[in-house]
A = this chain, B = another copy of it.
Amino acid sequence: MFMFFLIFSIERHRNQFGLNRSNQDIELTTIYIITPTYARANQIPEITRLAQTLMHVPNIHWLVVEDWSDKNPMIETILKKRGVQHTYLVGPRPPNQLKYPYAVNCHHAAFKWIRENAKSGVIFMADDDNVFDLRVFEQMRSTKNVSVWPVGGMFREELSSPVVKNGKVIDFLDGFRRQRKFALDWAAFAVSVQHFLSIPGATDPYRNGYEEDLFLQNLRFGLDDLEPKGNNCTEILAWHTRTTSKDYPSLNNMKKEPDYENTNLLKLYASMLTTARNKV
């Protein structure tokens, strides 16, 4: 009876989280989630929120990469407290690349780590301001070469999607189509680690708007390699969301406030300074 209760407790606990965890967690394919990040007012809440999403996902290794020469101690604290397996890296842009998106160099630092440390699994690029339905992680886990799905929140259409016919990707619907072979956002695909490792040096180049396309071309994929997920690309499980925000807290405004001695404000200001540490 006691044992029955224990088994019941485990099942109940599992169901509470709506997950299909199995006792074979250890055999699940590892997902390497790459998240570029940079100091700004929203950095702490957005990393907090993404960490709280990833806490639900078993067998991941979260590579958080700071676009700066040193790490943010507040980010390190969040990563440790949330209990998500992770590695926190830095990937500062070289001075001659500042006109390119911060993500590219962060990806390069993560790719270097993966080439040195991973043997198998799946690679997924997850920006810290995006939204991910938990099901997208479960679906990308079966990626053989490269899996794809629709992304909400893109362009005027609020949507970007592979066009799927008879189970095959035949084209792309995207607000920035141009001459791109793969008109996809980073949030729209995951790549097999084995395939990635099989092509030494494959990476995303510094070319605004063409990073994803050229990354997949460098990996020598054809349209036929794309594995549609999200019920044959009919469901949206990832959104490219953007938060409005000034880049950094306006500490100058804070300083104009009356000076409360022996109050909580000093410690609060100190924590805001950590977020703005490099840029004020």
Chain A residues at the B interface, C-beta cutoff of 8 Å: 2-3, 6-7, 9-10, 13-18, 41-42, 44-46, 48-49, 52-53, 55-56, 58, 81-83, 131, 133-134, 150, 152-153, 156-159, 161-166, 170-171, 173, 228, 232-236, 239, 241-246, 249-250, 253-254, 257, 260, 262-265, 267-268, 271-272
Partner of A268, one of B17, B18, B233, B260: B233
Given A45-B152, A265-B173, A246-B158 contact (CB < 8 Å): yes
B6 with A7: CB separation less than 8 A: yes
CB distance from A15 to the nearest CB of B (A): 7
For the complex, what is the distance from the CA of A171 to the CA of B264, rounded to whole Å?
11
Give every chain B residue within 8 A of A153 (Cβ-Cβ): 41-42, 45, 245
Q: Are B83 and A16 in contact (CB under 8 A)?
A: yes
Given A83-B16, A171-B260, A44:B7 Cβ within 8 A: no
Nearest B residue to A13 via CB reads: B13
Within the complex, the shortest CB–CB distance from A44 to chain B, in Å, comes to 7
Copies of the chain in the assembly: 2
A83's contact among B18, B52, B156, B253, by CB below 8 Å, is which?
A: B18
Q: Smallest Cβ distance from A192 to chain B, in angstroms? A: 23
Given contacts A242-B244, A244-B243, A265 and B16 within 8 Å (CB-CB):
no
Asked if B242 and A173 sit within 8 Å, CB to CB, the answer is no
Which residues of B have CB within 8 Å of A45? 131, 152-153, 239, 241
In the complex, chain B residues whose CB is within 8 Å of the CB of A53: 49, 52-53
Q: Nearest-CB distance from A130 to chain B (Å)?
A: 9
With A53-B53, A228-B264 known, 9 other A-B pairs at CB within 8 A are A6-B7, A10-B13, A17-B17, A49-B131, A150-B268, A156-B246, A159-B249, A234-B268, A244-B244
Q: Return chain B residues, CB-CB under 8 Å to A159.
A: 249, 254, 268, 272
Q: Most chain-B Cβ atoms within 10 A of its Cβ — which of A2, A14, A17, A45? A: A45
> Could you list 25 A-B pairs, sorted by A, with CB under 8 Å?
A10-B10, A13-B13, A18-B82, A18-B83, A42-B153, A42-B239, A46-B131, A48-B131, A49-B49, A52-B56, A157-B253, A157-B254, A158-B250, A159-B254, A161-B264, A164-B263, A165-B262, A165-B263, A165-B264, A234-B264, A234-B267, A235-B271, A241-B243, A242-B244, A243-B243
